[in-house]
Amino acid sequence: MPLYEHVFLARQDASAQQVEDLTNQITGAISSLGGKVTKTESWGLRSLTYRMNKNRKAHFVLLNVDSPATVIAEIERQERINEDVLRYLTIRVDEHEDGPSAMMRKADRDRERDDRGGGFRGDRDRGPRRPREGAEATAANQE
């Protein structure tokens, strides 16, 4: 059977439990139609690049699916009807990725960087400020 990666975005005001229920509903539909979900990853609530249906954030979920094309067509039809799903994307792949996806690896890398203490230029101590020079300094001293 063909292999697919399916990502869907759920509304920002849906709770984590609602997103999990929606994911279970989709995986149940895939299983009942003769497909198989080999991996499920929830990427959490993430900011969107631009607003979609008045939402600035969305819950991202990745499903690795092993099923016929008719199953994918039915899942996408159900997601078009569901008001909680903002967008979805299904891509046919030659093989599924072993281990965590690139998004999960990035999240782990970011977490490590935060644990080390920093990574942002604004976090460093710059020391005492020097007084201004020239006309700006005289105007500031007169006030």
Locate 21 and state its tokens: 């229920």
pLDDT in tens, 40-66: 999 889 899 999 888 899 999 999 999
pLDDT in tens, 13-24: 999 999 999 999
Using CA atoms, how far apart are residues 46 and 91, in angstroms rounded to an integer? 21
The mean per-residue pLDDT over the stretch 124-132 comes to 65
**Cα atoms in the Cβ-side hemisphere of radius 13 Å centred on 82:** 23
Domain 3-95 has CATH 3.90.1150.10: no
Per domain, the residue ranges of the chain are: 3-95
Contact at 8 Å (CB) between 90 and 79? no
The pairs formed by 22-26 with CB atoms below 8 angstroms and a separation of 24 or more are 22/61, 22/82, 22/84, 22/85, 23/61, 23/63, 26/63, 26/75, 26/78, 26/79
